[in-house]
């Protein structure tokens, strides 16, 4: 199930929590305005004037929080959702999405947590039913 697309700003992806180290793989280097939405298995962000959206699968997300700056960028009081995740090659990353309102940032985090919890519950139920057979 896909959520409604919301306006936001992609402010970059840090490596190992260091604002001066930017992740450059798969288009994650370029910052910009665009839209984000939640798909069944991933958070997706499509920057304006780009062909391919950025995708962070829920299975690699390890946490999310709200901050006021990210990757060396401040958004003059606007909240930034900081999404912690691990790349396919094991690098710890944090991607930032700038929002207009704190309530929107809180809603995004809550919905991501809900979807991740549901996905983990489905996996646990599948493994329990397989073990019982």
What's this model's pTM, rounded to 2 decimal places?
A: 0.84
By percentage, how much of the chain surpasses pLDDT 90?
Answer: 59
User: What's the rounded mean pLDDT across residues 57-78?
Assistant: 86
CA–CA separation, 88 and 94 (whole Å) = 14
How many angstroms separate the most distant Cα atoms in the chain?
56
The answer to whether the beta carbons of residues 48 and 26 sit under 8 Å apart is no
Instruction: Specify the pLDDT at position 123.
Output: 54
Domain 6-132 adopts which CATH fold? PH-domain like (2.30.29)
Instruction: Specify the pLDDT at position 5.
Output: 93
Q: In sequence order, which ranges of the chain are alpha helices (DSSP H)?
A: 102-132
Kindly indicate the confidence band of residue 115, based on its pLDDT and cuts at 50, 70 and 90. confident
CA–CA separation, 65 and 81 (whole Å) = 6
The answer on pLDDT for 130 being more than 60 is no
* 8-state DSSP, 48: T
């Amino acid at each position: 199930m896909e959520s409604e697309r919301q306006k936001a700003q992609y402010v970059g992806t840090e490596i190992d929590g260091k604002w001066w180290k930017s992740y450059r793989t798969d288009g994650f280097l370029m910052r910009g305005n665009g839209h984000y939405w939640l798909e069944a298995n991933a958070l997706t962000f499509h920057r304006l004037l780009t062909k391919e959206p950025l995708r962070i699968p829920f299975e690699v997300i390890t946490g999310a929080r709200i901050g006021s700056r990210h990757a060396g960028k401040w958004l003059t009081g606007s909240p930034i959702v900081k999404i912690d995740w691990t790349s396919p090659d094991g690098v710890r990353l944090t991607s930032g999405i700038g929002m207009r309102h704190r309530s929107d940032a809180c809603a995004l985090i809550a919905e991501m947590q809900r979807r991740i919890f549901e996905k983990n519950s489905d996996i646990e139920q599948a493994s329990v039913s397989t073990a019982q057979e």
